Structure 1
Amino acid sequence: MTIVASASAASSPAPVEQGVGPLLRGWREQRRVTQLELALRAGSSARHISFIETGRSRPSEEMVLRLAEHLDVPVRDRNALLLAAGYAPHYPRTPLDDPSMDALRAGVEQLIQGYEPYPALVVDGHYDVVAANRGIAMLLEGVPEWLLTPSPNAMRLTLHPEGLAPRIRNLREWRGHLLAQMGRQIALQRSTSLRALYEEVAAYPVPEQAGFEPEQSVPRFALPLRIEHDGRVLSFVSSISTFNTPMDITVAELAIETFLPADPATVKYLHSEGI
């Protein structure tokens, strides 16, 4: 299964009317960095940082980008900082179906298809599924069509009581992991749309028929996803990759999640299925 769609907005730009100073101060405080620490990182002075934050000094475009880099501000919000400082946005947001993205789409699809028979998918910053391989399609067998179209969302697919939730044997642990992951992302990105998604999926009732395995007392190197398929329990650990030094908002918000079998039985079953 391959799905290609335009990435959705993951966060709402901060209001430009606030001015760049208060916005930068907000990011600095959120990152728990002092003015002196930020100045040292950016090759400036604490006084200059203070002047920028209070509006007594207008930072150059290069300085805005440098401070945003050292504060690990998401690419989308760096554009908001530039606008607030009176500069043009630096990072474009190119739809995935744009011809200029052909090489990216082809490379991503080749990557996740090459990972078969193990599951792999690509999501945008709002967890909408951009592409998925046949390993993911296998796990989604039997999920209602309305959850799969027009633009499936990975969090809804996983946590909705009509989605994968009833099949997840360690739903309590896995649900807690996903909600904590979203919470961290919301704290970093100040995303109103992501917060709305969080509130939606967190309110889903836990299916009564869902099996709850006791927490494992044996040492584990990572929390596994234990999910039923065709009468078997498959076990996976997931890994998430993002693009390094992205120069486009769409690319910056893409994440590739791969699922590695966590036990020999899962490896044997996936290979036997001939995916």
Structure 2
Amino acid sequence: MTAATHPAGAASAGEALRRWRELRRLSQLELSIRAEVSTRHLSFVETGRSRPSREMVLRLADPLDLPLRERNRLLLAAGYAPAYPETALAAPRLAAVRAAVRRVLAGHEPYPAAVIDRGWHLVDANDSLTVLTERVAPDLLAGRVNVLRVSLHPDGLAPHIANLAEWRGHLLHRLARQVELTGDEELAALEEELRGYPGAGRDRSAEVPGPDGIVVPLRLRHDGGELCFLSTVATFGTPLDVTVAELSIESFYPADERTAAVLRKRAGS
């Protein structure tokens, strides 16, 4: 998705609403029914013949399933102040959030867990994450670390993943879905970069997991053997802050006893 088609690049709130509606593959009638507004009024808003109220913008944002960041952008385009704050994670206001995240990370030891933001940048992690990063080139772990780049780059984790094609397909499928839902240009650029890595391929149909499995595991070559992980993703259930809404915690669990034993030994437990 390019900047020209991104809804946030629209000249007006009405144009942005129309682009979001088209991105969600909804007709004006479908959106008007879901938002409980008249089709005529929605048409007037999209064409600029009627300026939507603040309440109308938020009402339309719900059935469009817009992220909090995009709701703020839509409000700004309509001439209103943002409805949702975006607080720095280090701010005192988010102390309870930071504490909750640290408890989750610490409680997950000796298994790896990481906190990532909307752009897949590493925000925090527990000590056990090193089992996934110890063979990654130092330059990929310097500065603002992108976990997808670390995972799929030829100098990153990729050469050590036994089921690389399967795991890469899983990650790219998640990223493509996120691009579709958010319309984010930076994520689209990241997806383009990752698909350009050697062996990544560009056929998305080949990335859909087969029907025989239960979940897609991460199989990591390690010290002459193989570690096998299952992963889960957790988010805050009722966020009203953009920063909190865009945080997620990815936790890795051992899929077999050998992996569990190796991780317990590394932790000295």
Cα distance in 1 for residues equivalent to 2:84 and 2:7: 13
Partner of 1:170 in structure 2? 163
Distance 1:92 1:13 in 2: 21
Hey, what's the Cα distance between the residues in 1 that align with 2:236 and 2:27?
29
Quick one: which of 14, 26, 29 aligns to 1:33?
26
- Counterpart residue number, 1:258: 251
CA distance in 2, matches of 1:137, 1:100: 30
- 2:263 paired residue number: 270
Distance across 2 between alignment mates of 1:177 and 1:217: 11
Report the 3-state secondary structure (helix = DSSP H, G, I; strand = E; otherwise coil) of the residue aligned with 1:70: coil
Q: Confirm whether residue 190 of structure 1 aligns to residue 183 of structure 2.
A: yes
In 1: Cα distance, 2:181 partner to 2:211 partner:
33
Aligned length: 255
Do the aligned residues in 1 keep the contact of 2:128 with 2:267 (CA within 8 Å)?
A: no
Match of residue 145, structure 1, among 125, 131, 138 = 138
What is the rounded CA distance, in whole Å, between the counterparts of 1:235 and 1:220 in structure 2? 14
Aligned match for 1:86, one of 79, 92, 109: 79
Deviation at 1:148, TM superposition (A): 1.1
Given the alignment, which residue of 35, 39, 42 partners 1:42? 35
Mapped contact 2:14–2:46 kept (Cα < 8 A): yes
**More divergent stretch after superposition (125-134 vs 95-104):** 95-104
1:100-115 to structure 2, matched below 5 A, reads 100-115=93-108
Deviation at 1:122, TM superposition (A): 0.8
* Corresponding residue to 2:236 among 235, 243, 248: 243
1:201 deviates by: 2.2
1:235 deviates by 0.8
2:2 is equivalent to residue 14 of structure 1: no
Greater relative contact order, per chain length (Cα 8 Å cut-off, separation 6+): 1
The whole-number CA distance in structure 1 between the counterparts of 2:265 and 2:7 is: 48
Normalising by structure 2, we get a TM-score of 0.88
Displacement of 1:218: 9.8
- Partners of 1:41 and 1:179 in 2: CA distance: 31
Corresponding residue for residue 212 of structure 1: none
Query: Tell me, what secondary structure is at the counterpart of 2:267?
Result: coil
Q: Which amino acid aligns with 1:169?
A: A
1:266 Cα deviation from its structure 2 partner: 1.7
Other structure's SS at 2:169 match: helix
User: Per-residue deviation at 1:169?
Assistant: 0.2
The answer to whether the aligner puts 1:180 opposite 2:176 as a matched pair is: no
- Judge conservation of contact 1:13–1:76 (CA < 8 Å) in 2: no
Distance 1:57 1:218, change over 3 A: closer
- 2:192 aligned to which of 191, 199, 221: 199
Q: Give the SS at the match of 2:25.
A: coil
Amino acid of the residue matched to residue 87 of structure 1?
Answer: Y
Determine if the alignment matches structure 1 residue 58 to structure 2 residue 28. Answer: no
The root-mean-square deviation of aligned C-alpha atoms, in Å, is 2.1
Counterpart in the other structure of 2:204: none
Shift of 1:127: 0.5
Instruction: Classify the secondary structure of the residue corresponding to 1:235.
Output: strand
SS at match of 2:165: helix
Residue identity over aligned pairs, in percent, reads: 52
Does the 8 Å contact 2:7/2:19 carry over to 1?
no
